[in-house]
């Protein structure tokens, strides 16, 4: 594959916001608003209405310190993020291409994120406007769009993930990183394969050592998307920074932290440097989650903050977590999962893997060019082994996996309950996040393909992709916009 051409027209969050505003995709909110619940409710209502990005300029108690929200929630916004057309198919292709063609990062001596540096008694996590997003939240959550950076103590490979992180006091945070992890837990094989923050922390804890961690806040949108997306290391050990580089078409610029050797995005608005205290846990939550429930973790990791650096006049960025939120989970996770199936199982005949919004990580619909009668089940097994999705529907390559009518028409037309529906066991159940609510790990696979079956189906009555592409290219000429 050739590397994607550089198509983005920004270097950081600020330049991206300028582009949004120039396209009338950002609205400045000048009315005074309250951090406690009001901002979250405004964001939720605007998301439901598919509204613009919101820049709050008059926050009660924080006059002159802005907070931006809802900047990645619409197709028009994502088109600007990826430098693509405002078409989900085109954006999805950019995601998969960048994941498969990562670009090494570039480390530099300093960057905008170090314009102001605070240590010791000058550290104050309440300095920045951090909402209480939901009405039942236990506190202010600084970790909703932040990239939490850690490093494998053995390999030195960096990982960046998005986790919920709550302010405890001026210098202390509580982090929920993939559920509860009691003191004394040892790294498991599944955690080792994920290569994430929990694996790094537990490795250090086994030796009684703290784990350096940094929260990068107000990153450019590609880094924010990479942070919240499962990005397994490729054969060169490249992860989130390099995937963002692949999408950008240019290297991610990094700088070294002031108090550790972690590398963080040079153009981020705010960097919070600290360490996960070894073998200590602290209560965290409740917090409204994208599952649609509130979750509480009584065994969250405790982070001691050692330093805060930020740009002059920093811009905060956060999101309200809910089933539909300011993050294109479906596009990013689907692209990442397709890339994983190709890399681990060689399934290059897959056209698209799609994790529907409503199903979160519990369902995946996979369209593929089926080569023989046994292939749908091989795809199902690969999905269960690699993704953890309980419900797997396999359809032919001409199916629009984002169109429920198309998918369910094929299920109803082509899936024989006696032959084409099988039980499967997902690799691991989801972590307990909502008290005693623990989704089952057993799922179902549905073969809704039409080739290589006893029933001989007539041709599908639909417009071909080639003809549809021709029509789309002339849509403005038709004056039907």
Q: What's the pLDDT at 189?
A: 57
Q: Which of 283, 317, 351 is the last residue of a domain?
A: 317
In a domain, 355, yes or no: yes
Angle between helices 75-82 and 88-100 (to 10 degrees): 40
In a domain, 322, yes or no: no
pLDDT digits (tens), the chain, 481 positions: 344 445 789 999 999 999 999 999 999 999 999 999 999 999 999 988 899 999 999 999 998 899 999 999 999 999 999 998 888 888 888 888 888 899 999 999 999 999 999 999 999 999 999 999 999 999 999 999 999 999 999 999 999 999 999 999 999 999 999 888 999 998 765 555 555 899 999 999 999 999 999 999 999 999 999 998 888 787 788 899 999 999 999 999 999 999 999 999 999 999 999 999 999 999 999 999 877 788 889 999 999 999 999 999 999 999 998 877 777 777 777 777 777 787 777 888 898 888 887 655 678 999 999 999 999 999 998 888 887 678 899 999 999 898 899 999 999 999 999 999 988 766 544 444 444 455 666 788 999 999 889 888 888 887 777 887 788 788 888 878 6
Q: Which of 317, 340, 367 is the last residue of a domain?
A: 317
Whether residues 127 and 168 fall in one domain: yes
Whether residues 464 and 350 fall in one domain: yes
Euclidean distance between CA atoms 437 and 251, whole angstroms: 42
Whether residues 52 and 96 fall in one domain: yes
Whether residues 126 and 162 fall in one domain: yes
Whether residues 289 and 405 fall in one domain: no
Whether residues 85 and 199 fall in one domain: yes
Q: What's the pLDDT at 469?
A: 77
Whether residues 312 and 214 fall in one domain: yes
Q: What's the pLDDT at 392?
A: 93
State which residues form the domain around 202.
Answer: 13-317
Burial pattern 47-78, b for ≥16 Cβ within 10 A else e, equals beeebbbbbbbebeebeebbbbbbbbbbbebb
Q: Which of 294, 317, 340 is the last residue of a domain?
A: 317
In a domain, 346, yes or no: yes
Beta partners for residue 284, in sequence order: 297
Q: What's the pLDDT at 434?
A: 44
Euclidean distance between CA atoms 280 and 286, whole angstroms: 19
Whether residues 276 and 363 fall in one domain: no
In terms of C-beta distances under 8 Å and separation of at least 24 residues, what long-range contacts does 412-421 make, across chains too?
Answer: 413/448, 413/450, 413/457, 414/447, 414/448, 414/449, 414/450, 414/453, 414/455, 414/457, 415/446, 415/447, 415/448, 419/447, 420/376, 420/446, 420/447, 420/448, 421/445, 421/446, 421/447
Q: What's the pLDDT at 388?
A: 63
CATH number of the domain within which 117 lies: 2.30.110.10
Q: What's the pLDDT at 462?
A: 76
Euclidean distance between CA atoms 230 and 217, whole angstroms: 19
In a domain, 477, yes or no: no
Cβ–Cβ < 8 Å for 348, 154: no
φ, ψ dihedrals at 409, nearest 5°? -60, -40
The CA distances from residue 408 to 61, 88, 287, 448, 454, in Å, are 51, 21, 34, 9, 20
In a domain, 312, yes or no: yes
Whether residues 267 and 201 fall in one domain: yes
Euclidean distance between CA atoms 395 and 103, whole angstroms: 33
φ, ψ dihedrals at 20, nearest 5°? -55, -45
Could you identify the residue written with the tokens 């802005």?
A: 66
Total of domains in the chain? 2
Q: What's the pLDDT at 276?
A: 98
Cis before 199? omega within 30 = no
Q: How many helices (H) and strands (E) does the chain have?
A: 13, 21
In a domain, 411, yes or no: yes
In a domain, 175, yes or no: yes
Strand order in the sheet with 26-29: 26-29, 53-56, 67-69, 316-317
Whether residues 396 and 431 fall in one domain: yes
CATH number of the domain within which 381 lies: 3.40.1670.10
Whether residues 241 and 343 fall in one domain: no
Q: What's the pLDDT at 194?
A: 57
Q: What's the pLDDT at 193?
A: 53
Whether residues 289 and 364 fall in one domain: no
Beta partners for residue 308, in sequence order: 118, 272
Q: What's the pLDDT at 292?
A: 76
Q: Which residues contact 405 (CB under 8 A, 6 or more apart)?
A: none
In a domain, 1, yes or no: no
């Amino acid at each position: 594959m050739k590397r994607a051409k550089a198509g983005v027209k920004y270097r950081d969050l600020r330049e991206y916001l300028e582009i949004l505003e120039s396209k009338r995709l950002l609205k400045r909110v000048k009315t005074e608003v309250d951090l406690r619940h009001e901002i979250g409710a405004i964001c939720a209502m605007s998301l439901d209405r598919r509204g613009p990005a919101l820049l709050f300029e008059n926050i009660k108690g924080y006059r002159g310190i802005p907070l931006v929200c809802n900047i990645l929630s619409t197709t028009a916004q994502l088109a600007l993020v990826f430098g693509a057309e405002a078409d989900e198919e085109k954006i999805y292709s950019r995601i998969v291409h960048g994941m498969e063609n990562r670009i090494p990062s570039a480390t530099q001596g300093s960057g905008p994120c170090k314009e102001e540096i605070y240590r010791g008694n000058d550290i104050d996590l309440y300095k920045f406007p951090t909402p209480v997003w939901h009405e039942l939240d236990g506190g202010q959550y600084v970790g909703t769009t932040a990239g939490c950076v850690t490093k494998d103590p053995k390999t030195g490979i960096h990982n960046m993930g998005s986790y919920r992180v709550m302010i405890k006091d001026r210098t202390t945070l509580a982090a929920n990183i993939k559920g509860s992890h009691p003191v004394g837990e040892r790294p498991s094989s599944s955690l080792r394969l994920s290569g994430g923050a929990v694996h790094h922390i537990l490795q250090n804890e086994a030796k009684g050592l703290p784990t350096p961690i940094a929260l990068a806040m107000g990153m450019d949108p590609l880094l924010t998307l990479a942070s919240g997306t499962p990005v397994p290391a490729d054969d060169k050990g490249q992860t989130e920074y390099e995937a963002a580089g692949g999408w950008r078409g240019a290297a991610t610029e990094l700088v070294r932290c002031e108090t550790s050797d972690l590398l963080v995005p040079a153009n981020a608005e705010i960097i919070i440097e600290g360490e996960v205290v070894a073998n200590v846990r602290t209560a965290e939550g409740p917090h409204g989650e994208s599952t649609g429930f509130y979750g509480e973790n009584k065994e969250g990791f405790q982070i001691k903050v050692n330093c805060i650096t930020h740009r002059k006049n920093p811009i905060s960025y956060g999101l309200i977590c809910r089933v539909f939120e300011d993050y294109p989970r479906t596009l990013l996770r689907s692209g990442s999962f397709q890339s994983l199936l190709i890399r681990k199982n060689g399934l290059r005949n897959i056209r698209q893997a799609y994790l529907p919004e409503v199903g979160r990580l519990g369902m995946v619909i996979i369209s593929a060019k089926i080569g023989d009668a046994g292939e749908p089940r091989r795809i199902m097994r690969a999905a269960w082994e690699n993704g953890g999705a309980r419900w797997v529907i396999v359809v032919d390559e001409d199916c629009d996996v984002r169109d429920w009518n198309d998918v369910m028409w094929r299920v109803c037309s082509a899936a024989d309950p006696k032959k084409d529906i099988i039980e499967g066991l997902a690799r691991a159940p989801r972590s307990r996040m909502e008290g005693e609510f623990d989704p089952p790990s057993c799922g179902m696979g549905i073969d809704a393909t039409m080739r290589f079956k006893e029933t001989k189906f007539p041709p599908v009555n639909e417009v071909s992709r080639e003809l549809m592409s021709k029509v789309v290219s002339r849509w403005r000429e038709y004056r039907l916009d």
